[in-house]
Amino acid sequence: MVVKVDKEECTGCGTCVDECPVEAIIIDEEEGCAVVDEDECVDCGACEEACPIGAIKKEE
């Protein structure tokens, strides 16, 4: 599965960045939202659970 960030919903709060155990997420300052490095992501779901507005979802 692949983790996707809904850029229209994401507020760039950084909660997902703090929860990611492999540091695969950054906040893109230009776009103001989270960006997941799919090569680094281990698909653990921590970011999806941590997102307070549900802007991160696993997609198949």
The domain limits of the chain are 2-59
pLDDT band for position 58 (cuts 50, 70, 90)? confident
pLDDT band for position 10 (cuts 50, 70, 90)? very high
Question: Can you give the pLDDT at residue 33?
Answer: 97
* pLDDT > 90? residue 2: no
Q: Is 21 helix (H, G, I), strand (E, B) or coil?
A: coil
Q: Please give the model's pTM, rounded to 2 decimal places.
A: 0.88
Assign a CATH topology to domain 2-59: Alpha-Beta Plaits (3.30.70)
> Which residues are registered as beta bridge partners of 33?
28
- The alpha carbon of residue 4 and the mean position of all alpha carbons in its chain are separated, in whole angstroms, by 7
Report pLDDT digits (tens) over 25-41.
Answer: 999 999 999 999 999 99
Residue type at 31 in one-letter notation: E
Question: Can you give the pLDDT at residue 59?
Answer: 77
Residue type at 16 in one-letter notation: C
